[in-house]
Amino acid sequence: MTLRLSSAGESHGPALVAILSGLPAGLTLDRAAIDADLKRRQEGYGRSPRQQIEQDRVEVLAGLRQGRTLGTPLALVVRNVDHKNWTWGMSPWPPEGEPSGKGTKPVTLPRPGHADLAGVLKYGHADVRDALERASARHTAVHVAAGSVAKALLASIGITVTGSVVDEEALRANVDAARAERDTVGGIVEVRAAGVPPGLGSYATKEDRLDARLAFALMGIQAVKGVEIGDGFALAGLRGSEAHDEIRTDRRRDTNHAGGIEAGISNGEEIVVRAAMKPLPTLMKPLASVDLQTGEAATALVERSDVAAVEALAVVAEAAVAWELAVAAKEKFGGDAVGDFIAAHAAYIERIAWA
Ligand SMILES: Cc1cc2nc3c(=O)[nH]c(=O)nc-3n(C[C@H](O)[C@H](O)[C@H](O)COP(=O)(O)O)c2cc1C
């Protein structure tokens, strides 16, 4: 069965949910490991106090028994603790009683760079909040939980996935300077996957290509505006003799300009991908906008927001890459029980005599 993931949830709604189907049975999950990833997503230089309000914890509603997957859809929930301040404004049903708490007044000041303007036009909303609540990156929390599950599956065949910020020191200096000017910044993150055997993905169709799938997964994350596989854009300026990774007799490489993927297939070297994040669109010193109610010139919505979320993106990108690699690994090795998956991987490694 194909590994599939779908999610739902608004930023200030009751909870975020994800359903993961196609996982093999018998995979041991560690609640502490999933919660640790959720905590990593909330940390990082430049994040807002929202992160202290929410202390994300995973809950499992289905698909797991006594810490082991059942081979049935796994239902994950991450509650929005902050919802208690939005029970009227974000009530799923027509709210009862007098308006109270947050989100009671319609937002009419769209932020440049956010979903606000195009979102209300597309869906016919009168309140920008109806668009921004889902467009917000809050729901990446439950995708991080799903990525944690994917990492457990990948670990069973010796694959590890790690995300980090490219140049953490520069980021911190940028954040300090931007905060002082009530501005925001972006940055670059890198995800590396070690232990990936040659043969995940395919050149057969564009949908099969592992590079395309990873790019799709990373571009699917809010605020990501560029993706590189291996040396990416820099390859365009190199000669072929400098750009390609020569093959040794043991079929390994001394260089890895390709980032572990050739012709859409993993080649056995470390997978290296990078994602560029734009500066966050919610500014404490807001940009010019229009009041959608009056049509008058105005400044954009100011709402509690991060100065940067690049460290968080490293965790979200790690989860996205882990999920895509798990999909590709499951596609290649199959298995209703995790032991079948592991055995198929071992048989393949033996066939290709991969050291
Ligand atoms: C982990 C993470 C946290 C984010 N936090 C914020 C935030 O606090 N404020 C904000 O304006 N945008 C934030 N964003 C970015 C917006 O969600 C994003 O820019 C917006 O949804 C528009 O989508 P686009 O940038 O992909 O075009 C965050 C993105 C990520 C990945």
Q: Which of 56, 111, 183, 280 to mutate to test the pocket of ligand 1 (most atoms within 8 A of CB)?
A: 280
> What is the enclosing helix (H) or strand (E) of 165?
strand 160-165
Cα–Cα distance, 81 to 53 (Å, whole number): 7
Question: How many other CB atoms are there within 10 angstroms of residue 94's CB atom?
Answer: 5
CB-side neighbour CA atoms (13 Å) of 5: 21
147 Cα: distance to centroid of ligand 1 (angstroms): 19
SS (H, E, C) 3-65: CEEEEECCCCCCEEEEEEECCCECCECCHHHHHHHHHHHHCCCCCCCHHHHCCCCEEEEECEE
Beta-strand relationship, 68-69 and 64-65? antiparallel
The answer to whether 213 and 324 have CB atoms below 8 angstroms apart is yes
CB-side neighbour CA atoms (13 Å) of 335: 27
- Report pLDDT digits (tens) over 151-184: 999 999 999 999 999 999 999 999 999 999 999 9
313 lines ligand 1 (CB under 6 A): yes
- pLDDT band (50, 70, 90) for residue 305: confident
Question: How many other CB atoms are there within 10 angstroms of residue 196's CB atom?
Answer: 26
Q: Which of 39, 136, 285 to mutate to test the pocket of ligand 1 (most atoms within 8 A of CB)?
A: 136
11 Cα: distance to centroid of ligand 1 (angstroms): 12
Q: Which residue's CA lies nearest to atom 19 of ligand 1?
A: 223
The answer to whether 71 and 77 have CB atoms below 8 angstroms apart is no
Q: What is the mean pLDDT of residues 286-299?
A: 97
Closest C-alpha to 84, from 8, 13, 141: 13
pTM of the model: 0.98
- Residue 260 backbone phi and psi in degrees, to 5: 80, 10
7-21, 50-64, 211-225: range with lowest mean pLDDT: 50-64
Closest C-alpha to 24, from 197, 199, 153: 153
Question: What whole-number percentage of the chain has pLDDT above 70?
Answer: 99
More confident residue, 136 or 49: 136
Report the nearest atom of ligand 1 relative to the CA of 224: 26
Report the nearest atom of ligand 1 relative to the CA of 282: 11
Contacts of 143 (CB under 8 A, 6+ apart): 5, 7, 18, 316, 319, 320, 323
What pLDDT score was predicted for residue 107?
A: 96
Residues in the chain: 355
The answer to whether 311 and 43 have CB atoms below 8 angstroms apart is yes
114 lines ligand 1 (CB under 6 A): yes
Cα–Cα distance, 105 to 263 (Å, whole number): 52
148 lines ligand 1 (CB under 6 A): no
Report the nearest atom of ligand 1 relative to the CA of 223: 25
